[in-house]
A and B are shown apart, each in its own frame.
Chain A
Amino acid sequence: MIGTIVVTGAARGIGRAIAEKMASTGPLTVVGVDVAPELALSESITPVQIDLTSDDGPSVVREAVEASGAPLVGLVNNAGITRDARLVNMADDDFAAVLEVNLGAAYRLTTELAPLMSDGGSVVNIASRAYLGNFGQFNYSMSKGGVVGMTRAMALSLAPHVRVNAVAPGLISSEMSMAIPNDIREKMVESIPLDRMGTPDEIANTVWWLLTPLSSYITGEVIVVGGGRSLT
């Protein structure tokens, strides 16, 4: 692939792994939104520091893409947060914050960048296995379900020129999962048939595959990368 790829939430975890893989793979310019400082030193990465939920967030990213001078071939909507609570105790602010970052930012950025996508381009939205339901995550689960809906609708509206798919990671070794208390995390791992947490690189590999022509006949799909957890 030759061109520009945008990756959001590239400071750590899955987003960082995706940005690293993109930057090391070929003649690509990676516009990384919220990039880890070490990655920002890479010649292949153009760092953009912007709050994607702000009014001008999407247009700032668009300007960076246009300045790259290369066709936009990929977009990875990865930025996400959690604000967990049982539904009965969930605060309005925690509900709104998770919806704005996980869903609103992805929706607004994709809408902004879609007209720039080159023929054969690919959008990959990072959903979560939580879209199938996860205790204490009403807001997060709703946001990721929304990402799935957005993926399907945009797959239809942007076809046949641009493909749109989602990746739904399960329990991945990252800052987000390390915030889970040890005993609960260990129980979660026990319920995973592959008997371990996934790695950010394993998600990056799936994202990479969806960005490339290797997956050229796939659009509107959700690929769960969760070690078989959805079966137990």
Chain B
Amino acid sequence: MTGHIHWANEVPDDWPAVLAELTRAFQLSRRAAQDEESFAYVVRQDDLLGRSGSGNAIIACGLLSAARTAALEGARKGWTANVVAYDDESDRSAAEQWARRLLEAGDVNGELIRVGSGHIGKTLA
């Protein structure tokens, strides 16, 4: 596997903590882009829906938007950026497997893969 998997950390509803977590993702992403390597963010489905506080929602939705934008750059260079979201009923290992699959595939880019079925009937991210 070539590439990086970035797990979003849980944060409190506190701006400095949120900014620190987003900065951690930025620095990993920039390094990957400079090395022309793919990356995948892993977030929680509940956070995409804003169900676990503002801080975690900002992180999850911010990472999704960042991946979509990075994917446009990666498309020109041959690397990808994607997001995997997992729900309470799916375990983290399933999310990890999907992230690895995305890194290896190379033909899925700027996409959100949602593991589990908790997202059905909810808003599109």
Contacts and interface: CB of A to CB of B under 8 A. Distances in A.
B74 to A, nearest CB: 9
Contacts of A151: 50
Contacts of B72: 133-135
Given A107-B58, A145-B63, A154-B54, A138 B70 contact: yes
Chain A interface SS verdict (over half): helix
Interface residues of A, number: 42
Given A86-B73, A87-B73, A152-B50, A145 B15 contact: no
Contacts of A150: 50, 54, 57-58, 61
Contacts of A149: 47-48, 50, 54, 57-62
A148 interface: yes
B101 interface: no
B52 to A, nearest CB: 8
Chain B interface SS verdict (over half): helix
Given A87-B30, A100-B19, A145 B61 contact: yes
B71 interface: yes
Contacts, number: 130
Interface residues of B, number: 38
A221 B64 CA distance: 17
Interface stretch (A10-18, A59-67, A71-79, A88-96): A88-96
Contacts of B108: none
A87 B30 CA distance: 6
Interface string B5-16: 000000001010
Interface of A: 86-88, 90, 92, 95-96, 99-100, 103-104, 107-108, 111, 130-139, 141-146, 148-157, 220-221
20 contacts: A88-B33, A96-B23, A104-B18, A133-B65, A133-B69, A139-B26, A141-B65, A141-B68, A141-B69, A142-B22, A148-B65, A149-B58, A150-B54, A151-B50, A153-B50, A153-B53, A153-B57, A154-B54, A155-B50, A156-B50
